[in-house]
Chain A
Amino acid sequence: MTSYKIAGPDIVFEEFDDDLVVLNLSTGQYFDFNKAAQSLWDVLSCAGDVNEIGRALKNPHDLAPFVEDLIRYQLLAEGSDTQPLSETAIHLLQEITEKPTVDRYDDLADLIVADPIHDVDTQEGWPVLDAKTS
């Protein structure tokens, strides 16, 4: 059995209407998940068994590349504690009809990762970064 967990405390996420925004505070990147990706994230991040998840999906071939992306973005890491899927989780997965997509954004990376004291421009102050940093 294989399962995953959220990669660490630097991964934070918030839901807005039908979107999930995930921030990786260690890389400064943020990610926009569509509804399908959000459902998969919910189940995967609760250590759901990947094989069981695949069986519940209408399009199981979407799962592996999605998980690979999340590992590459350092959002998920392999876990050791696999949990059986709940009825709610299975229902959530069966409802997925669209392809899960994750859009990655780097435009705030400097701001999120920079040290607000040492990396800022001494003339302008935060959040203008020092030329050496940016």
Chain B
Amino acid sequence: MTAQTFPASDEKNVLAGSLTVWFDELFSQFDEWFDATKQSVSVFSAGLTIECRSCDSQTLQLIAHGHREIAQNSSPEVKLLHVCNELTPGVAYPIWPFAFFNERDVEKQLLNGRYRFHYFDDLKFWQILDQHSLRGIQFARSPDELPLWENGSPLRNFINWALIQRGAGLVHAGTLGTDRAGVLIAGKGGSGKSGTVIGGLMNDLTSVGDDYVSVTCGKSITASCAFQTLKVDPTGAIRAGIPDEKTQGRALNWQHKFLLNLDDLNSSSDVDPLPIIALLVPRITYAEKTTFKPLSSKEAFVALAPSGVTQMPCARPEMIAHCAKIARSLPAFEMQLGTDATEISTAILKFIEGRKS
């Protein structure tokens, strides 16, 4: 990759209001740059084979850690190029010409077009996907200047945008399951979602994700693992009974949580995609026993949609529609949580087995 191959993106390119023209120009050279970049990592995520190439080995390592690494595939479904400015001297780094990035204006500009795009202005971090060819480019200034969420869920936007092309999408929900079926667990912050998932994992349930999972609505609803990572705060780790050796020596992330891997807890589901039979919305009630109360599909939608929709840029209409479809298709229940993690997990296991039989 040479300096000359990159277009000198200047204010005029973007100010012309024609992001698409600039993206066309950028992607016309994608294959040449991709072929010229030799370091790569191949991963399997959310049912997609993804190859990411970059001169930045630190970021490639982070991507490999966040996903299931696979052998290089001759024809990956998604090709991504991570361009690190610091390690690619002379490359003209694109400049966003406005003081702020107005996500909704840009989304409007690109609506129904070929590209999806997000820009994180604090770090001048770019992500652009050509959704027709599933080729994407990510620009970062240095290996240490990735948005914090990329540690736990690397390439999240690209994965979501690629899934949308298949009629699927990421949802902001955890999962728990058995070797036959599972449930989605969604809810507002503080509702007990994370604690329920971690508690379940320590009590013989499995999971395909604790925070974001890929959900496909076909004849049935299935969830697939999008990220291998698992977040738990130190108190939650003790409460859930996670052995000390799993967390010792690990640094806390930006949310002051340990970033573990599903395999660390032997809790990665062997069943992927996992058939989903219900949506559970936890509520902390301090009751003696965990109970389940039916919710309407409208209530399920309101529990599932808002946080995912707001965290997934350049895809709001599709995310709303996707969450609505899930909410219409699945029976939903408010899960009034007991206080003991083992009791809660047993109740979820009985719930799954009861509905499956």
* B188→A111 contact, CB < 8 A: yes
- Which chain A residues (10-62) contact chain B, with CB distance < 8 Å? 10, 12, 14, 16-17, 19, 21, 23, 25-26, 30, 32
Q: A30-B302, A126-B311 are in contact. Are A16 and B328 (CB under 8 A)?
A: yes
* A-B contact number at CB 8 A: 76
* B306→A21 contact, CB < 8 A: no
CB nearest neighbor in A for B299: A16
Cα–Cα, bound, A122→B253 (Å): 10
CB distance from A114 to the nearest CB of B (A): 7
- Which chain B residues (97-150) contact chain A, with CB distance < 8 Å? 104, 107-108, 111, 120, 122, 147, 149
Cα–Cα, bound, A105→B305 (Å): 15
Report chain B residues within 8 Å CB of A25: 309-310, 316
Number of A residues with CB within 8 Å of any CB on chain B = 29
Among A10, A123, A125, the most chain B Cβ lie within 10 Å of the Cβ of A125
Report chain A residues within 8 Å CB of B301: 14, 16, 21
CB nearest neighbor in B for A28: B306
Cα–Cα, bound, A19→B327 (Å): 13
* A125→B257 contact, CB < 8 A: yes
Scoring A residues 91 to 131 as 1 if CB is less than 8 Å from chain B, else 0, what string do you get? 00000000000000100100111101110001111111000
CB nearest neighbor in A for B107: A9
Cα–Cα, bound, A23→B147 (Å): 28
Is B284 interfacial (CB-CB < 8 Å)? no
CB distance from B44 to the nearest CB of A (A): 26
A-B contact pairs, 28 of them (CB 8 A): A9-B104, A9-B107, A9-B108, A9-B111, A9-B317, A14-B301, A16-B301, A16-B327, A16-B328, A17-B296, A23-B306, A23-B320, A25-B310, A26-B104, A108-B188, A108-B306, A111-B188, A111-B189, A112-B309, A113-B310, A116-B307, A116-B310, A116-B311, A117-B149, A122-B255, A124-B255, A126-B307, A127-B188
